[in-house]
Amino acid sequence: MINEEQRRIGRRNFIRAVATIPPTGALLWQARRMRPVRTAIVGCGGQGGVLIENAPTSHMRLVAMCDISPDNFEKGLNKIRTIHDPKAQGYTNFDQMLERRDIEAVLIAAPLWMHAPLTIAALEAGKHVFCEKMMHPSIDGCLSMIKAAQKARRILQIGHQRNANPLYQEAYALIQAGVIGDVYHIRALWHRNGDWRRPVPELDFDPRPHGYPSLEHLKNWRLYKKFSLGLLSELGSHQLQIVNWFADGVPTSVYGSGGTYRFKDGREIPDHLYLTYEYPDNLTFTYSSIQSNRQDHYYEQIMGTEGTIVLSGERQAMLFSEGKKNSKATQIEVEAAKTGAPTMSASESRLRDAAGSQVSAAASKYSPLRAYHDELAAFCHTIRHRAPNLCDGIEGMNASSPLILGAESIEKGEKLDIPPQFYYSA
Amino acid sequence: MIIKDSSYSLLQQITLALVRFLAGWHLFYQGLGKLRETDWSAKGYLSSASGWFGTSFQQIADWPAVLNLIDFLVVWGLLLTGFLLMIGLFSRSAATIGFVLVFLFFLAAPPVPVMGFIISGPEGFEFLVNKTLIEALLLLVIAVFPAGQVTGLDILISNWREKRQSIFSP
């Protein structure tokens, strides 16, 4: 028989004996939460290749790829096998790839018109989806993607990578803090001097079953209305999304002008376009994208009553002061820190340019390519740890609808209203 | 070479003394290298601090008065504690100060997840525990065991204390 004393000592010893098991369990559980997300990618062309090369291997493991075009297929599979998983599998049939239960998430970098069908299929198969920008060239498509994500209870993130770029985060903070005063006008542009055509290789492949009349249409999908909105969707979507972010709103009307002026080679989208968007609070956003001169390169310029912020080439930020209130210039520095996450520091300094106005400029050590790495890391963070979505379907749709209407305005030559029903509402 | 009336085996005592000596040399040379470098400062390490106290450490990096003091304390702290541990003098105190120093180094750059995940570094895969923390704990172990009594000038000090004690007791 065991008496009370013996029982007490026995219980105490037992507790001491098993005391290290709960902390061990807690650490093991945490470690499991940090296992890389097993991901597949569809579309290994230009942007797909960039995603494969810049994906954060500590967060994400690419285990499968899908591409209908043999040259991209081979290139993509080799890259994934070298960088991520030597046993990665390649597929030409997307639904077949979706059947794999070990794939948790899918990156979609296929041509624009396929964004909605591929995203919805992946979500319905229970995968989280990272879909490249622009979300989709039709408003119904965008809405279907959002609804499919909600129904499947999976993460949908749209690839507006500038949300992860600390230069833009810092600029947003400065604007919110009132450093440049009230903003009435934002200008953005992307000017290039070239025809934007990709070479069409000799391939033993018939793209017609996939909806492309010829190989030329597949390789130059950006130039055709069926597959893309052209400059607006491939370039403009980045910059319009930034304006939505900085303005904390969405445009209410658009007027556009443009056409195919220089490269009359059978393309169906404009090579020169000029848009004016009206936002609430008397803010106007003007956008131009041309293919006959590249002096201005690409930038966003936010013009406030007390100063100007210029974000150039995704890698340089300049802050100009105006008006009596601001007499100090602020130097913005961004660099990648030891741990891999970027850090920012701001210090006050005085610089004057030739005209005597205050200028401060910082060339970022943070490469624009790093933003792809960080947005994919954020995607994994959201999947594993329910972190806030860096750019969800609603934000993606809010950046797409104005461009869809903008393209229509250019075609019709009319100012068009963008009423609330063209944006997401629950 | 044997601690008087000790319950520690010979192997335990040798290991203790060896660890104390080598940890001391590690700290000492860390300090010496920093001393010899003409422009060493803790600023670099502090300004890229991360973890639970990251912002506090980063603020120190931008505060010249405190930074200069830290630079001095780190270099001479490492040199002094390293030297004392090597010769085995005031081992307990030296090991305790060493533990505090190295633990602070650890706190400024703990291996914590970045955006939810651990990024493998030059030392491999570390989650919450890295070699700096292990060294800090090692110094703590040296402090709580009589590591200076196996070999080291602490023996002379304890001898001297005993002699003083015996004068006053019958």
Cα-flanking dihedrals φ and ψ of residue A75, to 5°? -60, -45
pLDDT at A425: 82
List chain A residues with CB under 8 Å of B114.
339-341, 377
3-state secondary structure of A150: helix
pLDDT at A329: 52
Say how far apart CA A321 and CA A175 lie, in whole Å.
13
Question: Chain A residues within 8 A (CB-CB) of chain B?
Answer: 27, 30-31, 33-34, 36, 56, 58-59, 337-341, 343, 345, 374, 377-378, 380-381, 384-385, 387
CA A66 to chain centroid, in Å, comes to 20
List chain B residues with CB under 8 Å of A30.
127
Could you please report the per-residue DSSP string of B107-154? HHS----BTTBPPPBTTB--SS--HHHHHHHHHHHHHHTTGGGTSSTH
In single-letter form, the type of residue at position B49 comes to A
ipTM: 0.80
pLDDT at A344: 44
Among B48, B113, B120, the residue with its CB nearest the CB of A337 is: B48
pLDDT at A357: 47
- Give the global pTM: 0.87
For A60, nearest residue in chain B (alpha carbons) = B117
List chain A residues with CB under 8 Å of B133.
none
For B124, nearest residue in chain A (alpha carbons) = A58
CB A259 within 8 A of CB A160: no
**Shortest CA gap A342–chain B (Å):** 10
**Shortest CA gap B153–chain A (Å):** 39
Quick check: A339 and B116 CB within 8 A?
A: no
In single-letter form, the type of residue at position A408 comes to E
Q: Which residues contact B136 (CB under 8 A, 6 or more apart)?
A: B99, B102, B103, B105, B106
| CATH fold of the domain at A163-364+392-422 | Dihydrodipicolinate Reductase; domain 2 (3.30.360)
pLDDT at B150: 85
Say how many CB pairs under 8 Å bridge A and B: 56
Cis link prior to A135 (omega < 30° from 0)?
A: no
Quick check: A341 and B115 CB within 8 A?
A: yes
Taking 90 as the threshold, does the pLDDT of residue A354 lie above it? no
List chain A residues with CB under 8 Å of B118.
34, 58
CA atoms within 13 A on the CB side of A164: 27
A129-157: b or e for each residue (b if 16 or more CB lie within 10 Å)?
Answer: bbbbbbbbbbbebbbbbbebbeebebbbb
Cα-flanking dihedrals φ and ψ of residue B2, to 5°? -115, 130
Q: Where are the domains of chain A?
A: 163-364+392-422
Quick check: A378 and B117 CB within 8 A?
A: no
**Shortest CA gap B122–chain A (Å):** 11
pLDDT at A241: 97
Q: Distance of CA A339 to CAs A38, A164, A342, B115, Å?
A: 23, 16, 8, 11
Taking 50 as the threshold, does the pLDDT of residue A199 lie above it? yes
**Shortest CA gap A32–chain B (Å):** 10
Quick check: B115 and A36 CB within 8 A?
A: no
Taking 60 as the threshold, does the pLDDT of residue A341 lie above it? no
pLDDT at A338: 37
List chain A residues with CB under 8 Å of B119.
56, 58, 339-340
List chain B residues with CB under 8 Å of A36.
117
Q: Which of A11-15, A303-307, B68-72 is predicted least confidently?
A: A11-15
Say how far apart CA A267 and CA A223 lie, in whole Å.
5
pLDDT band at B5 (very low <50, low <70, confident <90, very high): low
3-state secondary structure of A325: coil
Cα-flanking dihedrals φ and ψ of residue A232, to 5°? -60, -45
Residue range A377-411, pLDDT digits in tens: 999 999 999 999 999 999 999 999 999 999 999 99
Residue range A275-321, pLDDT digits in tens: 999 999 999 999 999 999 999 999 999 999 999 999 998 888 888 88
List chain A residues with CB under 8 Å of B50.
337-339, 341
3-state secondary structure of A353: coil
DSSP state of A208: G
